[in-house]
């Protein structure tokens, strides 16, 4: 599992690739935790699943933890490029209302930027 981050219009984009399963999820937690410590403004995160081949309940758990960490600070999470497997897990776990899903990075950034 690999995670890289970049920023655009005060929105942090995390590009994930590979298998988001235990124990590899620790890297996601550490990368996001670093972003949490540097920012004082409401956090806006976009997770790009384009290169994700697999996700399990541990992967969904880390996303929920991130959501619970940023929600009190008026933070928001969006997901893009979600494949059928990942989308099915998000729907089954009833997290579809927690993570806003967008067709493109630009759409997600525009929507999250409006909520500042």
Mean pLDDT of the chain: 87
Indicate if the pLDDT at residue 51 is higher than 90. yes
Considering its fold, how many domains does the chain have in total?
Answer: 1
In this prediction, residue 115 carries a pLDDT of 56
Indicate if the pLDDT at residue 39 is higher than 80. no
In this prediction, residue 79 carries a pLDDT of 92
95-107 residue pLDDT tens: 777 888 898 999 9
Tell me the three state secondary structure of residue 1.
coil
**Contact by Cβ (8 Å): 9, 106:** no
In this prediction, residue 40 carries a pLDDT of 64
Nearest by Cα to 59 from 94, 95, 21: 21
Residue written as token pair 């999250």: 112
84, HSE (Cβ side, Cα atoms, 13 Å) = 0
6-24 residue pLDDT tens: 989 889 999 999 999 888 7
In this prediction, residue 106 carries a pLDDT of 96
CATH number for position 32: 3.30.750.24
Q: What is the DSSP string of 36-98?
A: HHH--SPPEEEEEEEEEEEE-HHHHHHHHHHHHHHGGGT-EEEEES--HHHHHHHHHTT-TTT
Indicate if the pLDDT at residue 94 is higher than 80. no
Look up the pTM and report it: 0.89
For residue 102, the enclosing domain spans: 2-114
């Amino acid at each position: 599992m690999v995670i890289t981050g970049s920023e655009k219009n005060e929105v942090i984009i995390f590009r994930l690739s590979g298998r988001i399963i235990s124990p590899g999820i620790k890297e996601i937690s550490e990368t996001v935790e670093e972003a949490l410590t540097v920012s004082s403004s409401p956090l806006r995160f976009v997770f790009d699943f384009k290169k994700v081949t697999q996700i399990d309940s541990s992967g969904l758990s880390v996303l929920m933890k991130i959501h619970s960490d940023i929600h009190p600070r008026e933070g928001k999470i969006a997901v893009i490029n979600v494949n059928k497997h990942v989308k099915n897990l998000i729907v089954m776990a009833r997290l579809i209302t927690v993570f806003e899903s967008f067709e493109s990075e630009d759409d997600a950034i525009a929507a999250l930027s409006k909520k500042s």
